[in-house]
Every structure is written in structure tokens, then in C-alpha cells.
């Protein structure tokens, strides 16, 4: 099986913000809402549509709950951690680091 350009573009670590999520998940919705309110773009991996990528999420985050959020390829945790970073004023600096 050969990789498409989309496969490469969507490969792990290729977006500044990545979220592994499910459609019917309160914490996923809250995370999207926080990022949307800040105007932050993110790449979402919907495990409902791509269930095989759950293994990838667990390997990268060492966690099995959704959402799992990555910034510059580094796992920051779920919604609670995202919200805590925002409340401490640490999220914006993390998003800017190249």
C-alpha cells in the first residue's frame, strides 16, 4: 500500500496542534471549544472514523482516554491539562515555539 500526499501531511507530528478525539465526548468538545475560541487551528484524528489510530495515540501519549492533545509533537494531556495551561498563561507561548 502506498502513502498518499494526505497520509504524509496528516502523519503524526506534522501539525502544530493535533487532537485524537471522538465525536461524542464532552472533554473533546470542550477542548475544541477552547481552541476555537482562541482561533487556534488543529488537526483532529477522529478515532470513530479511524479506530486503528487508537494504538498510535496510546503509544504517543501513554494514555487511553480522549482527547489526547499534542503541541509541536509533545503530548500535553487531555482537556483538563489544556485548560490548566491556558489558565496559567502557558498555552500561547507553547503554540508560538517553532
Ligand X SMILES: N[C@@H](CCC(=O)N[C@@H](CS)C(=O)NCC(=O)O)C(=O)O
Q: Enumerate binding residues for ligand X (CB under 6 A).
A: 25-27, 65-67, 78-80
The CA distance from 24 to 33, in Å, is: 14
Q: How far is the CB of 56 from ligand X (least distance, A)?
A: 15
Judged by CB, which is closer to ligand X: 16, or 67?
A: 67
Q: How far is the CB of 31 from ligand X (least distance, A)?
A: 7
Length, in residues, of the chain: 98
Judged by CB, which is closer to ligand X: 9, or 48?
A: 48
The distance from CA 85 to its chain's CA centroid, rounded to whole angstroms, is: 14
The CA distance from 9 to 48, in Å, is: 20
Residue showing the smallest CB distance to ligand X in the complex: 78
Cell triple for 58: 496510546
Q: How far is the CB of 66 from ligand X (least distance, A)?
A: 4
Amino acid at each position: 500500500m502506498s502513502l498518499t500526499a494526505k497520509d504524509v501531511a496528516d502523519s503524526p507530528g506534522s501539525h502544530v496542534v493535533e487532537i485524537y478525539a471522538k465525536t461524542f465526548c464532552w472533554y473533546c468538545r470542550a477542548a475544541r471549544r477552547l481552541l476555537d475560541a482562541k482561533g487556534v487551528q488543529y488537526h483532529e484524528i477522529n478515532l470513530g472514523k479511524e479506530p486503528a489510530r487508537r494504538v498510535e495515540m496510546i503509544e504517543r501519549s501513554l494514555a487511553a482516554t480522549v482527547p489526547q492533545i499534542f503541541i509541536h509533537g509533545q503530548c500535553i494531556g487531555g482537556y483538563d491539562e489544556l485548560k490548566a495551561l491556558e489558565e496559567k498563561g502557558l498555552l500561547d507561548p507553547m503554540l508560538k515555539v517553532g
